[in-house]
Amino acid sequence: MAENQLGGQQYLVLPEGASRLLGKEAQRTNIAVGYAVASIVKTTLGPKGMDKMLVSELGDITITNDGATILEEMNVEHPIAKILVEVAKTQDKEVGDGTTSAVIISGDLLKNAGNLLDQGIPPAAIIKGYEMAHEKSVEILKGVASDVSIDDEKKLAEIAMISVGSKNIGSETTKRALTKLVIQAVKQVSMREGGKVTIDRDFIKLEKKEGASIEDTQFINGVLIDKEVAHSGMPKSTKNAAIALLDVALEIEKTEVDAKIEITSPEQMQAFLNQEEKMLKDMVGKITASKANVIFVQKGIDDVAQHYLAKAGVMAIRRVKKSDMEKLAKATGARLVTSLEDLTPKDLGFAGQVEERKIAGEQMIFVEKCKDPKSVTIFVRGGTKQTADEVERALTDVIGSLVSVIEEGKYVSGGGSTEVEIAMKLRDMATDVGGREQLAIQAFADALEVIPKALADSSGMDPIDTLVQLRSKHKSKDGKSFGIDVYGNRIADMEKLGVIEPMKVKSQALSSATEASVSILRIDDMISSKGSRPSGPGPGGMPPGMGGME
Ligand code: ADP
Ligand code: MG
């Protein structure tokens, strides 16, 4: 009867072709979809995790291990799948690393919630239990974390190596060399104020070009710009560069002139051209008067102005992106000038060398040897575009990892050890809480253990046996940093192995995973207008064979 009533309402309110899922059916479907999405990235977790190859509609290929990239490139259409993609994106934005973990924890939170629903526990109780468990787990996390400072090179190197460890971008030696570059870059742009260190990730530029080996990736103490010198008569290399940054067009605005002058004779035309040339010459005069010998211009440079600049020996680069102008300002100390009238020698910046070099058939401008630049570049290389892309993604993770651990000053042990520790302590707490929430807290604890289980699985260990061993180890004294030694196929002390990670990677993953699963559980009614498909995995939604639960 009730169903008929609902059907009737639907018929009245919703447009033709719309579909609707209600109550348990909506929750079940959403949980299945969420879990299916998480399962896709699960096998990529950790250094022994596998890569995914993604082929776009246009045939572009991406080979990656990066959770955020995989989910983004999959172009999932299902709204619930999109929530999980958001989890990965948020993690990427806030921390830069830990995207896969965040998504697979969300998946298991959902799966376990599904089991509780089956036992008749109402969604509200699950949600409440999950939120309590989340709050408590952040507390536990803080309790097990240790301090680290920007001057602790050894710890930073370990953290960087763990972050890059899961990416297939070459040997241990290559990875070590790459992480060294990142540490150098992060330290260079860091700002200390009082006891606090802040780092703006935007000022570590990753510029990439294929056509050389990963080992050729280099640190540039300054900015690398994908542009060329404007005119062939200009110098291609300038030492001790005095740099002006101009947000000015070195051109005559045509419309402005047309409006004022009506040309009726060839003499007038000549006079007009002379006038125009004089204006451009004057512009160049103002630049040379400031003693600038290299200029970066955000807008265009007229041919005539280029000619005069070349004659004066000034190297000019035009149509430079605004973001690059900001980086140049930070690197060279130059001030961005918006009117030539304002340009004075004080506005100029400095670089030991500005040079145009040909890289893989294209010109690039190297602004190097800056004095204590607060903006630097890592020039990423790789044999193919795919490799260079994956190196870039790996370095983005390392940068994110280092920035968050330095800013927060806290790290925890990896290899699933922290997740097991939190899970154990949560279970203790759950018994004090009692009731239905107790079951939800236990389910939350179980979900965290998906991390050690997936790591064990990836190295061929039995996930359940290993988890049992880990739990018993964590009950003993000095057992709190025991996790999966993926290379030794055993459990071991992660801290001693140097498997450590920023606390922020874990805390952010816990919050976004909790938030996503709770918001999915709150949905008990899915109404989709014609054309969209809320009813589970299907064309455009999920790849075949990815649906369903374990
Ligand atoms: P994410 O996108 O979540 O960062 P990764 O593929 O980078 O996914 O895997 C991260 C997980 O792998 C973390 O739990 C981390 O502790 C673990 N891990 C990384 N390196 C090692 C290692 N050498 N030994 C054991 N676990 C490791
Ligand atoms: Mg990682």
Top pLDDT among 74 and 424 is at 424
Q: For the sheet containing 204-210, what is the strand order? A: 204-210, 376-382, 218-220
Percent pLDDT > 90 in the chain is: 73
- Whether residue 238 is contained in a domain is answered as yes
pLDDT at 262 over 80: no
The mean predicted confidence, pLDDT, of the chain is: 89
Query: Domain check: are 445 and 400 in the same one?
Result: no
- Whether residue 12 is contained in a domain is answered as no
Distance in angstroms (rounded) separating the CA atoms of residues 279 and 277 = 5
Distances from the Cα of 91 to the Cαs of 66, 94, 521, in angstroms? 12, 5, 21
pLDDT band at residue 258, thresholds of 50, 70 and 90?
low
Query: Domain check: are 384 and 364 in the same one?
Result: no
CATH number of the domain that 358 lies in? 3.50.7.10
Site to substitute for ligand 1 among 166, 450, 484, 489, most atoms within 8 A of C-beta: 166
Query: For the ranges 17-26, 27-36, 52-61, which has the lowest average pLDDT?
Result: 17-26
What's the token pair of residue 490? 């055993």
pLDDT of residue 260: 60
Query: Domain check: are 32 and 51 in the same one?
Result: yes
Query: Domain check: are 205 and 83 in the same one?
Result: no
What's CA 168's distance to the chain center, in Å?
17
Structural domain tally of the chain? 3
pLDDT at 202 over 60: yes
Residues in the 5 Å CB sphere of ion ligand 2: 97
pLDDT band at residue 304, thresholds of 50, 70 and 90?
very high
pLDDT at 282 over 90: yes
Q: What angle do CA 270, 274, 275 make, to 5 degrees?
A: 115
The burial class, CB within 10 Å (0-12 / 13-18 / 19+), for 175 is buried
Query: For the ranges 194-198, 374-378, 405-409, which has the lowest average pLDDT?
Result: 194-198
pLDDT at 7 over 90: no
pLDDT band at residue 538, thresholds of 50, 70 and 90?
very low
* Distance from residue 453's CA to the centre of ligand 1 (Å): 12
Residue 136 CB: number of other CB atoms within 10 A? 20
Query: Domain check: are 314 and 339 in the same one?
Result: yes
Query: Domain check: are 186 and 245 in the same one?
Result: no
Query: For the ranges 73-82, 250-259, 306-315, 413-422, which has the lowest average pLDDT?
Result: 250-259
Distance in angstroms (rounded) separating the CA atoms of residues 245 and 348 = 8
Distance in angstroms (rounded) separating the CA atoms of residues 58 and 153 = 44
pLDDT of residue 53: 85
- Whether residue 545 is contained in a domain is answered as no
pLDDT band at residue 276, thresholds of 50, 70 and 90?
confident
- Whether residue 542 is contained in a domain is answered as no
pLDDT band at residue 243, thresholds of 50, 70 and 90?
very high
pLDDT digits (tens, 9 = 90+) for 480-500: 999 999 999 999 999 999 999
Query: For the ranges 95-104, 199-208, 249-258, 302-311, which has the lowest average pLDDT?
Result: 249-258
Query: What is the average pLDDT across 110-135?
Result: 95
CATH number of the domain that 188 lies in? 3.30.260.10
Query: Domain check: are 182 and 77 in the same one?
Result: no
- Whether residue 243 is contained in a domain is answered as yes
- Whether residue 66 is contained in a domain is answered as yes
- Whether residue 83 is contained in a domain is answered as yes
pLDDT of residue 495: 95
Q: Which residue has the tokens 């899961």?
A: 166
Quick one: which ligand is closest to 396's CA?
Answer: 2
- Whether residue 7 is contained in a domain is answered as no
Query: What is the average pLDDT across 79-88?
Result: 90
Query: Domain check: are 227 and 323 in the same one?
Result: yes
- The DSSP bridge partners found for residue 485 are 490
CATH number of the domain that 458 lies in? 1.10.560.10
pLDDT band at residue 69, thresholds of 50, 70 and 90?
confident
Site to substitute for ligand 1 among 52, 64, 101, 404, most atoms within 8 A of C-beta: 101
Query: Domain check: are 55 and 191 in the same one?
Result: no
Query: What is the average pLDDT across 456-484?
Result: 96
Query: Domain check: are 400 and 427 in the same one?
Result: no
Atom of ligand 1 nearest to the CA of 165: 20
Q: For the sheet containing 500-502, what is the strand order? A: 146-147, 410-413, 500-502
pLDDT digits (tens, 9 = 90+) for 363-389: 999 999 999 999 999 999 999 999 999
435-448 and 99-118 helices, crossing angle to 10°: 140
pLDDT of residue 396: 93
pLDDT band at residue 537, thresholds of 50, 70 and 90?
very low
Query: Domain check: are 237 and 350 in the same one?
Result: yes
Top pLDDT among 113 and 51 is at 113
pLDDT at 8 over 50: no
pLDDT band at residue 49, thresholds of 50, 70 and 90?
confident
Q: Which residues of 228-256 are buried (b: 16+ CB within 10 A; e: fewer)?
A: bbbbeebbeebeebbbbbbebbbbbeeee
**229 is in which domain, residue-wise?**
223-372
Q: Are 393 and 64 in contact (CB under 8 A)?
A: yes
Question: Which residues are annotated as catalytic?
Answer: 66, 99-100, 397
Residues with CB under 6 A from ligand 1: 44-47, 49, 65, 67, 97-101, 162, 165-166, 414-416, 451, 455, 484, 486, 499, 501
Query: Domain check: are 138 and 215 in the same one?
Result: no
pLDDT of residue 1: 40
Atom of ligand 1 nearest to the CA of 66: 2
